[in-house]
């Protein structure tokens, strides 16, 4: 078969093969394109982050005053939350954590659009949030999921939620004068959804128990910020290594919050703005009309507004500062149909209602222990035996008698506490 050489149709189109050199030169084009692209992708973020901004130096006290005196009450931005507790990633089917965080309040917790079943997914993996706020009464938080979104809108006493994944809505009426100082975005159901909410919780607790220093500057979401470092002091058992808060130099608003464990490694909790604008969001942002055909679940007054825990379920607190251990009597929690302990990490204390109850009807501790057995380990001490769940930050110990010890402390500290309580 005769070789057909490439034709030469026009003189300006040199298509003829010119030996190996030309061949190599032509293959150089895709390689060069790929190389330039790789270099651009690698360099552009590096250039954007280049150099920490130089700001006038401040003391930690001045910076804390600045945070407290911050007058910024409006925000519109994108927040990235990354949580790495060392738990298995449940974000795909968050039924387990959803069940964990859902208190046995009946009714309202059943809706997939209820805040309790949605916000707990923030406890694993990485999530992108859209946050808008206009004063303490009007807030909107959207969890951006692939091809889906969960929006939580608060306008005065009206709380609306819409979950596009299930096409369902949730509505609740809050008691009129809710917490005045909620900050931007707030900590809905104990899960902080803005760096400011996280920083507020920590700085409140850090007073007098920590060393607070200013450690240079950083650039967060295109703004220059001071880096505030909170290190636990007088605490031997805590698993918290250090907390780093980037504070906007202009407004005093915390822009980024990073918690690293004492054991080192990746941050356990990292929440920061990737884009932020302190202007007033459009008024329409905070109005919600349930779309036609969408099922709306009416919630009872959500637990976030008032948290006097039911009788008997109130956690007892052992120790102080960073070594604090919460002690929860889970058998009492069951009787109280506990609404109290559904906030944040204390969500471990609430029973998972979807879990098959072990044994007889009074399933409170049965539920919890069935759950803990799933990814816990057996421990024993002079208190008897129990099940311990270990994460990179929070440890929990459930004794076979039904008492739950929980805290950001080492497992041995929990065992000691249980021994002492015997």
Partner 1 sequence: MRVWWSLGLLRSELVTVFRRWRTLALFGVLAGVPLLVGIAVRIETRNGGTVGGGPRGDNGPAFLEQVSNNGLFLTFASLAATLPFFLPMAIGVVAGDSVAGEAGGGTLRYLLVAPAGRTRLLVVKYASVLAFCVVATLVVALSGLIVGFALFPVGEVTTLSGTTIPLSAGMLRALLIALLVAGSLVGIAALGLFVSTVTDSGIAAMATTVGLLITVQIVDTIPQLHVVQPYLFPHYWLSFADILRDPVQWTGIAKNLGLQALYAAVFGSAAWARFTTRDVTA
385, two tokens:
């035996």
Q: Interface with partner 1 includes 151 (CB under 8 A)? A: yes
| Residues 69, 219, 126, 350, Cα dihedral to 10° | -20
152-171 mask for partner 1 (x: CB under 8 A)? -x------x-x-xxxx-x--
Contact between 9 and partner 1 (CB under 8 A)? yes
Interacting residue with partner 1 among 11, 146, 264, 308 (CB under 8 A): 146
Least Å distance, CB 398 to partner 1, is 26
C-alpha 281/C-alpha 283 separation (Å) is 6
Whether residue 76 contacts residue 132, with contact meaning beta carbons closer than 8 Å, is answered with: yes
Which residue, 326, 67, 59, 75, is CA-closest to 203? Answer: 67
User: Of residues 54, 71, 180, 289, which one binds partner 1 by CB under 8 A?
Assistant: 289
Strand ranges for 84-234 from DSSP E: 125-134, 138-145, 148-155, 158-163, 168-173, 187-188, 191-192, 210-220, 223-232
The answer to the question of residue 293 lying near partner 1 (CB under 8 A) is: yes
SS3 123: helix
CA 54 to chain centre: 30
- State the Cα–Cα distance between residues 307 and 315, nearest whole angstrom: 12
Using the rule CB under 8 A, is 298 a contact of partner 1?
Answer: no
State the nearest-atom distance from the C-beta of 279 to partner 1, in Å: 14
Nearer CB in complex with partner 1: 23/422:
23
- Encoding tokens for residue 163? 């979950």
Minimum distance, C-beta of residue 31 to partner 1, in the bound complex (Å) = 9
Size of the site for partner 1 (CB under 8 A): 51
Cβ closer to partner 1: 66 or 138?
138
Looking only at residues 12 through 51 of this chain, which bind partner 1 when binding is defined by CB under 8 A? 13, 15, 17, 22-23, 26-30, 33-34, 37
Q: Among 85, 90, 294, 357, which residue interacts with partner 1 (rule: CB under 8 A)?
A: 294
CA diameter of the chain:
96
Hey, what are 75's tokens?
């925000």
Q: Which chain residues interact with partner 1 by CB under 8 A?
A: 1, 3-7, 9-10, 13, 15, 17, 22-23, 26-30, 33-34, 37, 89, 92-95, 98, 110, 112, 117, 142, 144, 146-149, 151, 153, 160, 162, 164-167, 169, 288-289, 291-294
């Amino acid at each position: 078969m005769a070789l057909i050489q490439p034709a030469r149709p026009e003189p300006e189109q040199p298509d003829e093969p010119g030996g190996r050199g030309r061949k190599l030169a032509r293959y150089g084009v895709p390689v060069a394109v790929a190389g330039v692209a790789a270099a651009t992708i690698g360099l552009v973020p590096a250039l954007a982050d280049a150099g920490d901004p130089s700001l006038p130096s401040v003391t930690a006290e001045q910076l804390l005053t600045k945070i407290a005196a911050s007058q910024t009450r409006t925000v519109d931005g994108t927040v990235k939350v990354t949580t790495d507790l060392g738990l298995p990633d449940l974000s795909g089917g968050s039924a387990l954590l959803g069940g964990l965080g859902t208190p046995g309040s009946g009714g309202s917790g059943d809706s997939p659009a209820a805040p309790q079943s949605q916000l707990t997914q923030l406890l694993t993996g990485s999530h992108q949030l859209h946050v808008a706020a206009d004063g303490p009464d009007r807030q909107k938080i959207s969890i951006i999921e692939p091809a889906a979104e969960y929006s939580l809108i608060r306008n005065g006493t009206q709380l609306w939620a819409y979950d596009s994944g299930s096409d369902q809505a949730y509505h609740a009426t809050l008691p009129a004068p809710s917490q005045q100082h909620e900050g931007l975005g707030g900590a809905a159901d104990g899960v902080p959804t803005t760096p400011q909410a996280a920083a507020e919780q920590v700085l409140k607790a850090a007073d007098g128990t920590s060393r607070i220093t200013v450690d240079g500057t950083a650039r967060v979401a295109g703004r220059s910020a001071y880096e505030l470092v909170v290190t636990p002091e007088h605490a031997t058992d805590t698993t918290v290594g250090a907390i780093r808060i980037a504070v906007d130099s202009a407004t005093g608003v915390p822009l980024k919050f990073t918690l690293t464990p004492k054991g080192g490694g990746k941050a356990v909790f990292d929440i920061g703005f990737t884009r932020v604008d302190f202007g007033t969001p459009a008024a329409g942002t905070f109005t919600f009309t349930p779309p036609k055909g969408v099922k709306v679940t009416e919630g009872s007054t959500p637990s976030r507004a008032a948290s006097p825990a039911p009788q008997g379920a109130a956690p007892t607190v052992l120790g102080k500062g960073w070594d604090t251990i919460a002690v929860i009597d889970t058998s009492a929690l069951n009787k109280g149909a506990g609404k109290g302990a559904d906030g944040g990490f204390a969500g471990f204390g609430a029973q998972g209602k979807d879990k098959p109850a072990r044994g007889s009807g009074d399933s409170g501790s049965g539920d919890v222990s069935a759950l803990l057995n799933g990814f816990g380990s057996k421990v024993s001490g002079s208190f008897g035996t129990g099940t311990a769940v270990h994460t990179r930050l929070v440890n929990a110990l459930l004794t076979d008698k039904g008492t739950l010890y929980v805290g950001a402390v080492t497992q041995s500290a929990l065992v000691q506490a249980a021994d002492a309580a015997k």
